[in-house]
Structure 1
Amino acid sequence: MESSSKMDMKENTRHDEKNGHFIENHEDIPETFQLYDKEEESDINDEDPECNVVIESAHVTVPDGGYGWLVVFSSYMVHFIIGGVERSAGLLYLQFLERYKESAALTAWLCGVASGVRLMLGPLTGAVANRFSCRAAMVWGGIITCISIIISGFAPNITFLFISFGFLSGIGRSLAYCPAVVIVGLYFHKKRGKAVGVATSGVGFGTFVFPPVIKLLFDYYGFTGAFILIGGITLNLTIFGILMRPLSVHRKIEAIQKRKDEELMVTDVEITILPKSERLDDNLYDSIDFTIPVLQENESSKKNNSFSNLKKRISSVVSFTKSKKSKPKERAKKKFFEFSLLKDFRFTCFCFAILLFTLAFQSAFVFLPAYVDQIGGDDTKAAFSVVIAGVFDGIGRILAGIILDMKKIKPYRIYIYNGIMFVIGGVSFVIPNLTDFVAIAIACGVYGILVGSYISQKSVVIVDLLGPEKLTYSFGIMIVFQGIGMLIGPTIGGFLKDINGKYDYSFYFGGGSMLFGAIILLLSNVIHSMKEKREEP
């Protein structure tokens, strides 16, 4: 008796509650989504009374846990190291002022260059991660960061520091930071807000640990020795980069049982054979249609390739019918950059709000220790003002991830996010009017918890605006805007200090910038809501 079975490889898959959320189409997988190509063996045993023919189709699932929590830990430590060093910019600013005797504007600009470069290179480092894997990008990022910071300790002038500590260190930090942010969002779906909140809270803990440690390093080992040790600490980025394992392909197994005396014919199975690599390439080759006959056991088959020894090694990714219609050239154009996303009015407003927020945010952490010195505080109080802000920053990130992920709050997440920005702007106006350290400490705590909440949910809000399939591209564009803010914010703040002789106006400028950004975001949300109401039937 003969029978045939025609397997239709459908493009979409259903949500599997046990295995997690299926990404329904390989085109929906963000560019930095690295996949293992594993060799799988399919064994068919002719000695079994029933022949089990196993058809495997590849689906990418979001674990929402498991190894994803180790990825969260690794991302947490990357944020801890990079965030700790960058949040210590205020202490480094004082060291640079004392050693090189340059203007406040130029010295503050040096502190902002590394952070600005780190963010502005986001799309490029995302492309590097896509080409070589997140793991490789982060390992090289750790190495470059370590070397650049060590040689900064031997800088003869501030120009040398701009190259080593500013540009080279910024490149290394970007290679380590950007993949660490994106990969967490890809490992989680239902728990994305919580996972991102936990991962980014490493910045808060880093801000708690690094400022007093860096102060001690400068006190005990001097300028050069401190930079050598800080460079050694950043080398740990390579270790945590190694732990960033690409998300594996989970295969859905479909077993078709046929009796031994039956012949099974599988036809019209379309696959795409790709070169073996550690990533899901965006440029798919033309699909190949073929028929695989599964023959019943006979003496001839035992002599020539016995049915029991039939093994098919697969080092490819199953492609669906849609891949045959895709245009490689058009998809290649979208490989690195997708600036057409800026046509989305709401997303564009969000990017400008982030730019204006970062103008103020970076300046505050650069000038906060200097402001404490200005009102008569010692170096210890100056360092601990940053520590207090950092501790509450970490708390804010975790709380924001938990609260904004609640079912009743999630639909209003973007509006709450907008409100947080208004409050941060108000706190920025309050700080320069405080002269008591206890009051400043309280203000730093409030500032920290709000800033942590705001920063940690950037990628989550982007998903709310554009969807998870556009996370990689949109996040890269957004951090370019953030990088511009970090690059020029401290310079403007330092320039205002040079003109007025006080740091007060630097904080006033920051508060005004945040409020302006909050207004832009509010207007975009109002316009979007009105548009939705008009489109309702």
Structure 2
Amino acid sequence: MKSPWDWDSHPVELKPRDGGLQGWIVCFASFLCNGIIFGLMNSYGVIYVQLKETLEAEQVNNASAEASLVGSMAIGTTFMTSVAAGILSDWWDLRKTAIAGAIIASLGMFLSSFVYRKVGFLCTTYGLLFGVGSSLVYTPSLVILNHYFSRRRGMVNGLVSAGSSVFTILMPFLLGNAISGLGLANTFRLLSGFTLIMVLCSTFFRPQLGRCRSMQEDARGLRMWFRTGIWRDVRFIIWIVSMPLGLLGYFVPYVHLVQYVKDTIPDADGKWLMLCIGITSGMGKIVFGKISDIPWVNRVILQQVSFVALGMLTMVIPFVASFPALICIALVFGLFDGGLISLLGPIAYDICGPDGVSQGIGSVLALCSIPLMVGPPIAGALYEMSGSYEMAFLVAGGPPLIGALGLGLIQCIKQKPTLRASQTAETTISALDDPLYALDIRDLGPLSTQVQQMLP
């Protein structure tokens, strides 16, 4: 006979452990995974220049638009499949999902080395395989942080997302040297081996608690894995509509800025701008993450400010003909880029709560995939039509301003009881279906004796 204190039916207070050696090892592993994934994607502008020249030599029409499509498909696919990655992480296992994704991403890079002259095939290998694999690593790398951190959640998300900035600083020059010395095909093979590092990192994504199954699990079926509750929250709906609107032009500078410098300031090296963005993006992620941990700070407003700054800076780019001035723009752009990205995880947690954060992150990233995918090709087509990047960057700067206006509507909605890291919330043990938190039996009061007897 089951104890009257059965876990399936009694509410308890759950708290994540805040750090510890294992927690910081997980943080570093997530840092490396984010760095590898987005360091490569943010540095695609270097591959883009070489691929565009290769396609032009093959007399491919609209070489600029087609070359930019490959990179935008990779980042778009990464975000588009985030919902599936979140559900798979819940259903299967965070660690196994991430390991499988790392292997798929490496395979995509390796196959790209054989088909890089054919855009259709390259969209499949680099755009789809590498993108899907990256998604299966990226989503678990964010969710696992909630298993180990509470009070420092914002700061840790900032540190992890800073991995992309650190790698963005290094990757443009490493890719440039690799392409010059090895050629594009061997560079893809080198990157295939490089992405396998994520397999090792993913082995550390071990949840603090195993899955605690309810007796009624089979009856709940799909609803257990698909968190329908988050879709009834008006604030969540506004957020996942505003974010895609704001990100339509976001990836355009990452793809086209190097080529823009090559066209307008031939003596300058556009890769230095990517380095500048990478440096201040890392700083921005840490600074904004730390600021967002202050209890009275509104994280949504911080994201609004970031959108406004990114939009205005993007629109200014085509009117700047001085390379030092472009460096200044890149430095400020990176700062607010870091702020925008580092707030995704904390805001998803605030709105969706502990049991919905995984699919909340996955859902918003999935909807963001479409604008991220179509933005750079649209900019490339405008460049082909006009012969300059003036219209392309002006158009790209508008959507972030619209996204900022949309986020303002969240402030008009009455906020539910917050789930900020500085607080704890009562919930039921069914939250362990997505084990974001470690159980502290000292918080159970008079139930602690019975619970200790149930623990192995």
Q: Does 1:386 align with 2:290?
A: no
Q: Does 1:111 align with 2:68?
A: no
Q: Does 1:182 align with 2:182?
A: no
Q: Equivalent residue for 1:356?
A: 245
Q: CA deviation at 1:340?
A: 5.4
For residues 324-339 of structure 1, the aligned pairs below 5 Å read 326=216, 328-329=218-219, 331-338=220-227
Q: Which moved more, 1:361-370 or 1:500-509?
A: 500-509
Give the TM-score, by structure 1 length. Answer: 0.72
8 Å CA contact 2:18, 2:152 repeated in 1: no
Distance in 1, Cα, partners of 2:217 & 2:31: 39
Q: Does 1:453 align with 2:339?
A: yes
Tell me the secondary structure at the aligned position of residue 509 of structure 1: helix
Tell me the secondary structure at the aligned position of residue 247 of structure 2: helix
Query: How many residues align structurally?
Result: 406
Q: CA deviation at 1:470?
A: 1.5
Q: CA deviation at 1:7?
A: 6.8
Q: Equivalent residue for 2:112?
A: 152
8 Å CA contact 2:31, 2:163 repeated in 1: yes
Q: CA deviation at 1:132?
A: 3.0
Q: Does 1:376 align with 2:265?
A: yes
Q: CA deviation at 1:341?
A: 2.7
Q: CA deviation at 1:461?
A: 1.1
Q: Does 1:12 align with 2:49?
A: no
Distance in 2, Cα, partners of 1:148 & 1:8: 50
Distance in 2, Cα, partners of 1:527 & 1:142: 40
Counterpart selection for 2:366 from 467, 480, 490: 480
8 Å CA contact 1:65, 1:188 repeated in 2: no
8 Å CA contact 1:127, 1:335 repeated in 2: no
8 Å CA contact 1:342, 1:348 repeated in 2: yes
Q: Equivalent residue for 2:161?
A: 200
Q: Equivalent residue for 1:78?
A: 33
Q: Equivalent residue for 2:328?
A: 442
Distance in 2, Cα, partners of 1:487 & 1:281: 39
Q: Equivalent residue for 1:98?
A: 53
Distance in 1, Cα, partners of 2:142 & 2:226: 18
Q: Equivalent residue for 2:431?
A: none
8 Å CA contact 2:265, 2:323 repeated in 1: no
Q: CA deviation at 1:494?
A: 1.4
Q: Equivalent residue for 1:401?
A: 289
Q: CA deviation at 1:417?
A: 2.2
Q: CA deviation at 1:342?
A: 3.1
Q: Equivalent residue for 1:310?
A: none
Q: CA deviation at 1:242?
A: 1.1
Q: CA deviation at 1:364?
A: 1.6
For residues 460-471 of structure 1, the aligned pairs below 5 Å read 460-471=346-357
Per-residue deviation, residues 129-151 of structure 1 (Å, max 9, x unmatched): 23332211222212111121122
1:352 aligned partner, one-letter code: V
Cα distance change of structure 1 residues 140 and 333 upon mapping to structure 2, 3 Å threshold = closer
Cα distance change of structure 1 residues 67 and 150 upon mapping to structure 2, 3 Å threshold = same
Cα distance change of structure 1 residues 66 and 110 upon mapping to structure 2, 3 Å threshold = same
Per-residue deviation, residues 408-446 of structure 1 (Å, max 9, x unmatched): 42xx22222222211221111112211111100110010
For residues 276-355 of structure 1, the aligned pairs below 5 Å read 279-280=210-211, 284-285=214-215, 326=216, 328-329=218-219, 331-338=220-227, 341-355=230-244
Distance in 2, Cα, partners of 1:339 & 1:478: 14
Tell me the secondary structure at the aligned position of residue 378 of structure 2: helix
2:44 aligned partner, one-letter code: A
2:88 aligned partner, one-letter code: V
For residues 264-275 of structure 1, the aligned pairs below 5 Å read none
Larger relative contact order (CA 8 Å, sep ≥ 6): 2
Distance in 1, Cα, partners of 2:5 & 2:106: 52
Cα distance change of structure 1 residues 113 and 332 upon mapping to structure 2, 3 Å threshold = same
Cα distance change of structure 1 residues 336 and 95 upon mapping to structure 2, 3 Å threshold = farther
Q: CA deviation at 1:214?
A: 0.3
Counterpart selection for 2:385 from 499, 515, 522: 499
Q: Equivalent residue for 2:420?
A: none
Q: Equivalent residue for 1:311?
A: none
Q: Equivalent residue for 1:422?
A: 308
Distance in 1, Cα, partners of 2:229 & 2:292: 29
Q: Which runs of 5+ in 2 are unaligned?
A: 416-456
Tell me the secondary structure at the aligned position of residue 442 of structure 1: helix
8 Å CA contact 2:248, 2:399 repeated in 1: yes
More helix by share: 2
Q: Equivalent residue for 1:69?
A: 24
Distance in 1, Cα, partners of 2:286 & 2:186: 35
Q: Which runs of 5+ in 1 are unaligned?
A: 1-5, 15-21, 24-60, 250-278, 286-325, 530-537
Aligned-residue sequence identity (percent) comes to 26
Per-residue deviation, residues 20-78 of structure 1 (Å, max 9, x unmatched): xx25xxxxxxxxxxxxxxxxxxxxxxxxxxxxxxxxxxxxx434433111111000000
2:323 aligned partner, one-letter code: F
Q: Which moved more, 1:64-73 or 1:110-119?
A: 64-73
Distance in 2, Cα, partners of 1:484 & 1:67: 36
Distance in 2, Cα, partners of 1:207 & 1:98: 23
More strand by share: 1
Q: CA deviation at 1:348?
A: 1.5
Q: CA deviation at 1:79?
A: 0.8
RMSD: 2.1
Q: CA deviation at 1:160?
A: 1.3
